[in-house]
Amino acid sequence: MSELVFFSGTMDCGKSTLALQIAHNRSARGLQSVIFTRDDRAGEGKLSSRLGLVTEAVEAAPELDLYHFVVERMSRGGKVDYVLVDEAQFLLTEQIDQLARIVDDLNLDVFAFGIATDFRTKLFPGSQRLIELADRVEALQVEAMCWCGARATHNARTLGGEMVVEGEQVVVGNVGMAAEIVGYEVLCRRHHRKRMTSATAQAAVLSPDVLPVTSS
């Protein structure tokens, strides 16, 4: 039986790397895919990982019907053995429904990769719909780490190194971006709740207010 599988994890936990590994392994067996992505860091129509791996993909723009795209490719004689989707959190809910239809009507496996919650700890609509419809939801086993060394469970948006909790849900950025622009950082729940990023934690350590006082 074909399945809709949602691989979920925080940023920087290897989602795109696993997606590329699945594509490589199946390609080596002669299986061909349709790869969709949305707002990848490498640009439109790319699926890339932070390890530097990249492959061509179809940009899943809001107006694109994913089911009809796959049907059209197959009707033109193209071989499609499975579908792979990266940055699935950015898809519209109706596009997630289209992925489910690909599984049910075309009998193809669909592997979707994405983060579940945004920087406000709210579910992305695409991720929420995947959780509702997926045959399986798999938590990725490569654990991202907070600056404190604990397991990172939350995604934080930063501006000038400080965590922000307001703004548009989707702003394409990257982990480890320059401090003066919008970036992202993974944190444990404790430090996400306290809004303590690696930059603010370092600033607190260096602050004269916390330096030891010695007497002569």
Phi and psi torsions of 59, nearest 5°: -70, 120
**Confidence band (pLDDT; 50, 70, 90) for 203?**
confident
Interstrand relation of 182-187 and 54-56 (parallel, antiparallel or unpaired)? unpaired
The closest alpha carbon to 129, from 156, 101, 106, 152, belongs to 101
Catalytic residue selected from 87, 138, 166, 168? 87
Q: Which CATH code fits 1-142?
A: 3.40.50.300
Q: Is the pLDDT of residue 177 over 70?
A: no
Q: Is the pLDDT of residue 185 over 80?
A: yes
Order of all β-strands in the sheet with 162-164: 162-164, 154-159, 182-187
Phi and psi torsions of 41, nearest 5°: -60, -25
Query: Tokens for 70?
Result: 């796959």
**Confidence band (pLDDT; 50, 70, 90) for 64?**
very high
* More confident of the two residues 16 and 171: 16
In the chain, the amino acid numbered 97 is: D
**Confidence band (pLDDT; 50, 70, 90) for 179?**
very low
Annotated catalytic residue 166: no
Span of 82-86, 150-154, 179-183 with lowest mean pLDDT: 179-183
Q: Residue 197 has what pLDDT?
A: 92
CATH class of 143-205: alpha beta
Q: In sequence order, what DSSP letters do the residues of the chain get, joined into one string? A: ---EEEEE--TTSSHHHHHHHHHHHHHHTT--EEEEESS-TT-TTEEE-TTS-EEE-EE--TT--HHHHHHHHHHTT---SEEEESSGGGS-HHHHHHHHHHHHHH--EEEEEE-SB-TTSPBPHHHHHHHHH-SEEEE-SS--B-TTSSBP-EEEEEETTEEE--S-S-----BT--TTSEEEEEE-HHHHHTT--HHHHHHHHHSGGGS-----
Q: What percent of the chain has pLDDT over 90?
A: 48
* More confident of the two residues 3 and 151: 3
Residue ranges covered by each domain of the chain: 1-142, 143-205
Q: Residue 141 has what pLDDT?
A: 64
* More confident of the two residues 95 and 117: 95
Degrees, nearest 5: CA angle 64-66-72: 100
Q: Residue 65 has what pLDDT?
A: 98
Q: Is the pLDDT of residue 213 over 90?
A: no
